Amino acid sequence: MFRIDLPSNDVPKKWYNINADLPSKLPEPKSSEGKDQVGDLPDMLINECLKQELSNERYIKIPKEIRELYQRMGRGTPLCRARGLEEKLNTPAKIYYKREDTSPTGSHKLNSAIAQAYFAKKEGVERLTTETGAGQWGTALSLASSLMGIDCTVYMVRVSFEQKPFRKSIMQVYNGTVYPSPSMNTEVGRQINKETPDHPGSLGIAISEAVEEALADEKTKYSLGSVMNHVALHQTVIGQEIQTQLEMADDEADTVVACVGGGSNFGGAVFPFMKDKLKGNIDTEFIAVEPAACPTLTQGEYRYDFGDNIGFTPLLKMFTLGHDFVAPAEHAGGLRYHGMNPQISLLANEGYINCRTATQKEAFAAGQMFAQCEGVLPAPETNHAIKVAIDEARKCKETGEEKSIVINFSGHGLMDFKGYGSFMDGSM
């Protein structure tokens, strides 16, 4: 079986909330001394998303309208066997990849963008502001906002804005307004540009700019594409679908691998499986792969820190490199974030997640091999997961183990030719 398709009627009807099953209580957000960032959350976030953020209900029903939009936008997505890659590696392992790249915007991000834009529209919000790194989230929220008839303003990390100019074009096609961050639109951006005119930007700075705008206008809310609990919640349609598809293939996952930046695609793929592991029903290994240049889980500290650069957001207990950290200008823009989803951070701190790193060249080499074997060009972010999945498959060749390895193929690389070009010509 090369491809396992899921009928649209089998798209999950509920999101899974891992807060109900975590091995210990998730530390709550808190305000910094002399400020009330927690009190600002209702002015900043979509109300229903804030409710989901703090919920401990195990399952949260997906509204019929959202589920129908999921189906219109291509859910369920295929689970494919990477037979060509298996043959290339001469491994007894079975390698599956969940094709979130088949969405109209080319990544998993639409799963949360649709939900957030839907709830915003219902609450009378007229505009959403957001940040984006490589552009996948900004593209998804631009489309979702267009579908809901509301405006969308995107602050795109400047280095990615310059590396991926056509991402801006796609967002504009979907009626999104896009600015390189740091910009001259906000007080935050103007101050940073004054101090460092050639600043490459960071996701933390872009978040600060988007939040500043949201707090200044009661008809505007801030929407984010990763890190927070409700975003990972919306992405759990991925893991639930994988479980169903593996049952259809009469198989079980020994290893689930995904890249991590803020954590949404990893959490979305892993959390439904993690529920069963926490109950002792499975022994699946979960591997989170991050860039060696931005090693949040592997070298960061597990402590309270701001989610943004300036300190508009509450303090979250998470693995962090420090909210003022600026990652090198590598091509995996979606992974250049200083912090990590609090739920993933807790699970990693308690030993339930295996954390690895990959260098940029290692990741692109893995992506090239995958493309040559399977015909699908992965995003630079996705390449990190593929690299480690290849490592695991090679271990199986050495040991003779017939493991089933599942990759969350979080996005395609058809907007990333500059990165692939520099890798191919040796200038990376």
Query: What's the pLDDT at 138?
Result: 95
Query: What's the pLDDT at 203?
Result: 84
Residue 202 tokens, joined: 């960071």
Q: What confidence tens digit (pLDDT) does each residue in 191-228 have?
A: 999 999 989 998 889 999 999 999 999 999 999 998 99
Query: What's the pLDDT at 333?
Result: 66
91 phi and psi, to 5 degrees? -110, 145
**Considering Cα of 117, then 122, then 123, then 127, what sign does the dihedral take?**
positive
Q: Compute the chain's Rg from CA coordinates.
A: 20
Calculate the dihedral angle through the C-alpha atoms of 311, 313, 317, 322, rounding to the nearest 10 degrees. Answer: -30
pLDDT at 329 over 80: no
Q: What confidence tens digit (pLDDT) does each residue in 1-42 have?
A: 799 999 888 999 999 999 999 999 999 999 999 899 999 899
| Mean pLDDT rounded to a whole number for the chain | 95
Q: What confidence tens digit (pLDDT) does each residue in 336-384 have?
A: 889 999 999 999 999 999 999 999 999 999 999 999 999 999 999 999 9
Percent of the chain scoring above 70 in pLDDT: 99
Kindly report the pTM of this predicted structure.
0.95
Separation of alpha carbons 40 and 43, rounded Å: 5
3-state secondary structure of 271: helix
DSSP 6-46: --GGGS-SEEE-GGGT-SSPPPPPBPPTT--HHHHHHHHB-
Residue 254 tokens, joined: 């020994």
Query: What's the pLDDT at 418?
Result: 84
pLDDT at 331 over 70: no
Residue 401 tokens, joined: 């183990």
CB 155 within 8 A of CB 256: no
Separation of alpha carbons 99 and 409, rounded Å: 5
pLDDT at 153 over 80: yes
Indicate the residue type of 71.
Q
Q: Give residue for tokens 């739920």.
A: 343
Query: What's the pLDDT at 334?
Result: 74
Size of the chain in residues: 428
DSSP state of 84: H
Contact residues for 221 (Cβ-Cβ < 8 A; gap 6+): 44, 45, 46, 120, 123, 125, 127, 128, 129, 214
- 299-306 long-range contacts (CB < 8 A, ≥24 apart) are 300/338, 300/339, 300/340, 302/345, 302/349, 304/27, 304/30, 305/338, 305/339, 306/32, 306/204
Separation of alpha carbons 178 and 156, rounded Å: 7
Separation of alpha carbons 150 and 9, rounded Å: 28
How many CB atoms are located within 10 Å of the residue 18 CB? 23
